[in-house]
Structure 1
Amino acid sequence: MKAVLFARYGEPEVLEVQEVADPTPAADQVLIEVKATTVNHLDLFQRDGSRPIPHLPFTPGLEAAGIVLADAHGFHAGEHVLTTRAAEATGGGGYASKIAVPARYLARLPAGVSFEEAAAAGLAASTAWGSLFDLGKLQAGERALIWAGSSGVGTAAIQLAKQRGAWVATTASSTERAEELRKLGADLVINHQQQDVGAELQKLGGVQLIIELVSSTLQQSITACAPNGRVVLIGNLGGKESTVDTQAWRLKRVTVIGGGQLRATPRDEQNILQLIADKAFTPLIARVLPIEQAAQAHALLASGQVQGKIVLRHM
């Protein structure tokens, strides 16, 4: 089979297309022909060595949408499926053309949902669901702030929170991006380069839930909280450190929850895919590229110029 991998750390050019052996499924696994995956920031960190992996060569790819190749564990050859746990598959991650995945990690694609849509939703929407509902306990009528609205998790979280009946604020860095986020349903878009996000939301009485994707903005998140607000910390796009006013944190009784390696259950991932089929949720796709252009895709994501997910397609 074909796989895109790297045998040393470095710039995007270390990614190579190679022929490798097909995976042999273990007793609990289902063999999948991968049709689409996406590029995530973790892929870049693994490739450049800032998040070292145990063994090289390594095939990245955190999620994969594809076709079941052989009947196994209730799945039938020809069924379309998604896994957000491709990194744990036999044969490599989603940058490989075939992987063997534990059956418990698979969700079926409803009719009308494309491989590209499923992959673009993938881990981003799964993380958004887990942070909003499993950890964040978002309820209809509450107010939420979602940082980095143009990111994959951000665009998914905006739509899922609106589906649940929340009022949603988010952040953007330009007028163009702000307009796209309003189309996704955001009630308020704050330009974080020109405005103090925490102060702006305090004028409105604060929010009950914050999805914190930046980390270095944690103090602004605490400021933006209403009393007894919750902050779910699921990303550190702005770095690993933040200085906070512990007095304000204490007096407001803000709860900060570490998200860890967060994702929804496969059952809830099935619910997300059904929302796509029902046209109630639209994964935002920035670009679809062939898997052979993985290096270009890494450079594009690193540029910070994309809004939504970059999908890699296996032909």
Structure 2
Amino acid sequence: MVMAYGFTQYGDAGTQAMLDLPKPEPGPGQILVKVHAAGVNPVDWKIRSGLLSGAMTLQFPAVLGREVAGTVAALGPGVERYEIGDEIFGNTGAEGGYTEYTLVRTDAIARKPPTVSFIDAAALPVAAATAYDAIEQLQLRAGDTLLINGAGGGVGAAATQIARYRGVGVVGTASAAKHGFVAALGAMPITYGDGVAERLHEAAPNGVTAILDLVGGDALREVAGAANDSHLIVTTADPETAASLGGAYIERGTLADTLARIAELAAHGSLSPHVQELFSLEQAGEALAAVESGHAQGKVVIEMM
């Protein structure tokens, strides 16, 4: 049997529980992974709450988590690119990641570089992959300026680093408590909320080349005027509002290819997930609560002891 942490029905944190489950067996195109670390993301509590039930079919009890790093423990039929013992990281899909063993598809993983820890690698597949795809979509060049609306979280931190690596200047909206973190990443922090448009104009009087929005709603409307070209507004949070402003929803690349590019950036130190809090599997509820509160800076990771 395998220890895991998940939820028994859609709802609030009261539906979460430790689980004792049979070890899964890999099918065609799948790999069984011995999990060393699992990333914690806002999408985890959104799935638990039922907000994404129309887009994802789950069987209860369901294991929480969507990103892992670990070693290959078994190969499904037809898998040839990997061998038992290989170190990988990637996205688990509906299988869940807060567990000792999980299944991943070969098209949703990449090899973990030896110089990147399991803890850091586990924090890359969701946030960093999202950031990478968004930056690719905007096709920014060295000397451009990017506004990241909501720069203090995992996606914002990764997007800032990727943009700075490409020579792009970054301005980021964030709470005052996260200004130091945003500035340390190489971005100019701007406090969100009332008066943000005026503060943004003072920081970038000539406007910005593009906007990566991670918040949506009124927060996007308030800063949209800073974009010199409204077509260069990309959102991960609110496609309807972005479209009404002339922008677009994020376009996702091939996940395995994106993860391979992220691995290269992480391997030579140009991209760090900035893991801020580390929990054990037995503390998984606390880990998810830290993310669900909205106050976490950088990434939260569960380490399998």
TM-score by length of 2: 0.89
Deviations 1:184-238 (A, max 9, x none): 111x2111135423762485211121111111123223201014551111025xx
Distance 1:111 1:204, change over 3 A: same
Distance 1:146 1:243, change over 3 A: closer
Alpha carbons 1:13, 1:295 under 8 Å: kept: no
Give the counterpart letter for 2:107 in structure 1: R
Q: Give, in whole Å, the separation in 1 of the partners of 2:23 and 2:101.
A: 7
Counterpart for residue 297 of structure 2: 307
Matched, 1:64 2:68: yes
1:280 matches 2:280: no
**Counterpart-to-counterpart distance in 1, 2:242 and 2:27:** 47
Secondary structure of residue in 2 paired with 1:190: strand
- Paired with 1:281 and 1:231, the residues of 2 have a C-alpha distance of 23
Contact 1:5 1:17 in 2 (8 A): yes
Q: Of 169, 172, 184, which aligns to 2:171?
A: 169
- Work out the CA distance in 2 between the residues paired with 1:141 and 1:266: 29
* Structure 1 SS opposite 2:189: strand
> Where in structure 2 are the equivalents of 1:134-283 lying within 5 Å?
135-174=137-176, 176-186=177-187, 188-193=188-193, 195-197=195-197, 200-201=200-201, 204-216=205-217, 217-227=219-229, 229-236=231-238, 249=245, 255-259=246-250, 262=252, 265-283=255-273
- The alpha carbon displacement at 1:162 in A equals 0.4
Matched, 1:100 2:97: no
What letter matches 1:58 in structure 2?
A
Contact conserved, 2:107 with 2:256, CA < 8 A, in 1?
yes
TM-fit CA distance, 1:106: 1.7
- 2:25 corresponds to which residue? 24
8 Å CA contact 2:4, 2:63 repeated in 1:
yes
CA RMSD of aligned residues (A): 2.3
Cα shift readout 1:151-191 (whole Å, capped 9, x = no counterpart): 110000000000111011101111x42122111111x2111
Equivalents in 2 of 1:146, 1:263: separation in Å? 20
Q: Which amino acid aligns with 1:307?
A: Q
Q: CA deviation at 1:77?
A: 1.6
Aligned-residue sequence identity (percent) comes to: 29
Q: Please name the residue that 1:5 is paired with.
A: 6
- Kindly provide the amino acid, as one letter, of the partner of residue 193 in structure 1: G
**1:87 to 2:89 alignment:** no
**How many residues are paired up?**
296
Stretches of structure 2 lacking an aligned partner (at least 5 in a row)? none
How far the C-alpha of 1:26 sits from its partner, in A, is 1.2
Give the match for residue 117 of structure 1. Answer: 120
CA distance in 2 between partners of 1:198 and 1:58 (Å): 46
5+ long unaligned stretches in structure 1? 250-254
Whether the 8 Å contact between 2:99 and 2:281 is mirrored in structure 1 is: no
Q: 1:295 to 1:64 in 2, by over 3 A?
A: same
Whole-angstrom CA distance in 1 between matches of 2:128 and 2:6: 25
Which residue type is aligned with residue 191 of structure 1? T
